[in-house]
Amino acid sequence: MEQQIPAILKTKPHFEILDGLRGVAALSVVTFHFMEMAITDYSKNFIGHGFLAVDFFFCLSGFVIAYAYDDRIGKMGVTEFFKSRLIRLHPLVIMGSVLGLLTFLFDPFGGHPELYSAGRIALIFLCSVLLIPFPVVTERAFNLFNLNAPAWSLFWEYIANIFYAFILSKLNKRWLLALTLLAAIPICIIAYRTGNLMGGWSGGTFWDGGARVAYSFLAGMLVYRFNWIIPSKLGFGMMSVLVFAAFIMPFSGWNWLTEPLAVLFYFPLIVALGAGARLSERLRKICVFSGKMSYPLYMTHYAALWMFGNYYASHKPGTVEFSVVVVTSIILLVGVAWLVMTFYDIPVRRYLSRKRHAA
């Protein structure tokens, strides 16, 4: 007999345009990562602000978590909340670590696994699986997570979820607004001090990640709590253009101003507009697919990026070859993400959910 899911644990209906926009942001950050491997001068990178997709993810997350759990976390309890988040997030943390380990050991274009003992590699892998920052690999720019660089944002996502469960879910709207305004200050300071908001992924910029998640997660919650949902006739196409515009804005000496403006005001506005926008039936399936694919793509793509970086350094491809390789790689990575989602992530989450409900 199929196990019945308690009503309090059932998933709420999705804001499908926001799901679709999450996919647009995921594709943008993947493209950005390919481009930055080859073009170190971000002012010459057509998607030089693709890293801001992470701030958009954080803002979306704050909105979705508040929508999904504000009215039921008190009934379900903190333990069940954490179980829900672990089941949703951690299978792909593990898969990203496994793929990262395989490409670390067997990269056909280079890499130096021989510089690390078996014990050291095992420790690097364990830290990656458990989301424990361990920036020790020199040739990978001392990423917090050497095997799967994007995991830094998942580390801070978990921290935000912990704060939500114990503190933020209990705050009234006034205190939440005050905390959000306070969280805006570090964003402005970091941007002014360093010239951009690109930090958070490395040991040297660790606390920048905390500042980025703090403001954007709180801002997303504010949009939901104050019901700042803006009904409009904007559809998925126009909303996608608005999101993508933030990632292709010029990378310049004005980043200290333009990036905070995007994070502090533009992304919360996009979430508010996206939650109230209209979705045509012919685009519904695209949005649903895009939303489902976004997290698997984000958490599995960087294993290929390390190989691409070594390929680019050793082969020095021309513009045409470079373009063909990047476009082909992105298409293949979407295919890999679909395979991972279909044959690993969804079955594992279903299994864990069944075990949870049977307990």
Question: What confidence score (pLDDT) does residue 357 get?
Answer: 82
Could you give the C-alpha distances from 1 to 4, 55, 354, 358, in angstroms and in order? 9, 43, 12, 11
Return all residues near 324 (Cβ < 8 A) that are at least 6 apart: none
Encoding tokens for residue 305? 């990026």
Residue 47 has pLDDT above 80, yes or no: yes
- Look at residue 7 in the predicted model and tell me its pLDDT: 53
- Other Cβ atoms closer than 10 A to 40: 8
| pLDDT, position 2 | 43
Query: Angle at the Cα of 57 (from 283 to 352), degrees rounded to 5?
Result: 85
In the block, which residue shows the tokens 């409900």? 357
Question: Rounded distance, CA 349 to CA 89, Å?
Answer: 9
Helix 16-38 crosses helix 281-300 at what angle (to 10 degrees)? Answer: 40
Residue 124 pLDDT = 96
Mean pLDDT of 79-102: 97
Closest CA to 349 of 149, 95, 174, 73: 95
pLDDT per residue over 327-349, tens digit each? Answer: 999 999 999 999 999 999 999 99
* Rounded mean pLDDT, 104-124: 93
| Average pLDDT, integer, range 44-67 | 97
Question: 281 is written with which tokens?
Answer: 């039936």
Mean pLDDT of 94-107: 96
Q: What is the rounded average pLDDT of the residues 61-69? A: 97
**In the chain, % of residues over pLDDT 90:** 90
Q: What are phi and psi of 317, to 5 degrees?
A: -70, 150
3-state SS assignment for residue 202: strand
Indicate left, alpha or beta for 142 from its phi (over 0: left) and psi (-120 to 50: alpha). Answer: left
CA terminus-to-terminus distance, the chain: 15
- pTM for the model stands at 0.95
Q: How many residues are given for the chain? A: 359
Residue pLDDT, tens place only, 226-241? 999 999 999 999 999 9
- CA–CA dist 356, 87 (Å, integer): 10
As a whole number, mean pLDDT of residues 111-115 equals: 88
**Which residue shows structure tokens 């063909």?**
324
* Other Cβ atoms closer than 10 A to 259: 26
